[in-house]
Amino acid sequence: MFKETFPGIIYALLLQDFPESLVETMAVFSLLNLRIKDRKILAIALLQTLTNLVRLLPIAFGVHSVILILSLAAYTRLFTRAQLSKIFLAVLLCFALIATTELIYAQPLLNLTGLEYEEVFANPFLRAAFALPYTVLLLVLALVKNYYNQKRGLIC
């Protein structure tokens, strides 16, 4: 499974993993009522992007998701000192939203394009394109929740 070339890995990190990590972190912060205009988000997103390299390891399907959930929760706790149970709830909500969104659009999009999942996963550009819908959804969640937090004065 570790067949990707070094440029392919870099493209995947820049096109999918970093934007996805940044938006996930923003969503977690907004769900925790934390300010999303914070340098801590960038630090957590960079760490999470590096942790995303576990996707390249030859491990059982789904294990990388558990690792990414635990790492995002750990990084958020490390940088914010927010309550761990609330962090896990926010992180799990984000990952559940990702999984649900992918279940809804992945197969119809594969059918529409005539591509196979393996083709999409092997190409960093296609993988980033297929990740775009849930990335946009998480961004909308983060911005709407942050707007709500600001209007209600809930931001810590």
Query: Among the residues of 32-123, which ranges form H helices?
Result: 39-51, 63-80, 84-113, 117-122
Q: pTM to 2 decimals?
A: 0.92
Residues 6+ apart with CB under 8 A from 118: none
Q: Where does the pLDDT of residue 4 fall: very low under 50, low under 70, confident under 90, or very high at 90 and above?
A: low
Instruction: With CA atoms as reference, report the closest residue to 48 among 29, 31, 73.
Output: 73
CB atoms within 10 A of CB 96: 10
CA dist., res. 15 & res. 129, Å (int) = 9
CB atoms within 10 A of CB 133: 16
Each residue's pLDDT tens digit, 68-113: 999 999 999 999 999 999 999 999 999 999 999 999 999 999 999 9
Contact 142, 30 (CB under 8 A): yes
Q: Is the pLDDT of residue 15 over 60?
A: yes
Q: Where does the pLDDT of residue 1 fall: very low under 50, low under 70, confident under 90, or very high at 90 and above?
A: very low
Instruction: With CA atoms as reference, report the closest residue to 15 among 115, 130, 156.
Output: 130
